[in-house]
Amino acid sequence: MKAFLLRYRTILLTGLSLAGMLVLLRWLELRFLIFDHAMDFYIGAIAILFTGLGIWLALKLVNPKTVIVEREVLVSPSSDFQLNEAVLNQLGISKRELEVLELMAQGCSNQEIANRLFVSLNTVKTHSSRLFEKLEVSRRTQAVEKGKRLFLIP
């Protein structure tokens, strides 16, 4: 409720001042002019009612304005990487194993790698096991680190 009041303070104030002005008008009218009052009252009620309707319509049906705040994300220039085939052959790493390594480096889980390569989870495990042996590591993070050092992955 508090938040609501704060948020729509301006609108509420406007509404209140509107009402105040109508009251003032009425008073002035009574004071100085002897007219047909029922009519004006009626019109005023309609005006307020339809103003409310308009506000409700707009709030209900119109998409809120959006302010786009851009947050910069730094990205290294992906360009000059070429694979070190010498090391690749020397260690006897197969194509499939290299593919697994690449996906590992992108942060994929074994299951995700399996899905991407259209093979079973067990197959990925086998490949990664062999890969770890050949790279002489025991964890995927180490494999990625070593892979980068040896220019097997960008």
Partner DNA sequence: GTGCAAATCACCCGAAAGTATGACCGGTTT
Partner DNA sequence: AAACCGGTCATACTTTCGGGTGATTTGCAC
The residue ranges that bind a second copy (CB under 8 A) are 7-8, 10-11, 13-15, 17-19, 21-22, 25, 29, 39, 43, 46-59, 61-77, 84, 87, 90, 104-109, 137, 139-146, 148-151
- Element of type H or E holding 118: none
Q: Is 140 one of the binding residues for DNA (CB under 7 A)?
A: yes
- The yes or no reply on residue 148 touching DNA (CB under 7 A) is no
92-to-37, 85, 87, 88, 147 alpha-carbon distances in Å: 99, 10, 8, 6, 14
Q: Mutual orientation of helices 121-135 and 95-105 as an angle, nearest 10°?
A: 90
Q: Is 48 or 150 the residue whose CB approaches DNA more closely? A: 150
Q: CB–CB of 146/135 below 8 Å?
A: yes
Q: Does 96 bind DNA (CB under 7 A)?
A: yes
Q: Is 52 in the site for DNA (CB under 7 A)?
A: no
In the complex with a second copy, the residue whose CB is nearer, 5 or 67, is 67
Least distance in Å: CB of 82 to DNA? 20
Please tell me whether residue 92 binds DNA under the rule CB under 7 A. yes
Task: Please give the Cα distance from 95 to 84 (Å, whole number).
Answer: 13
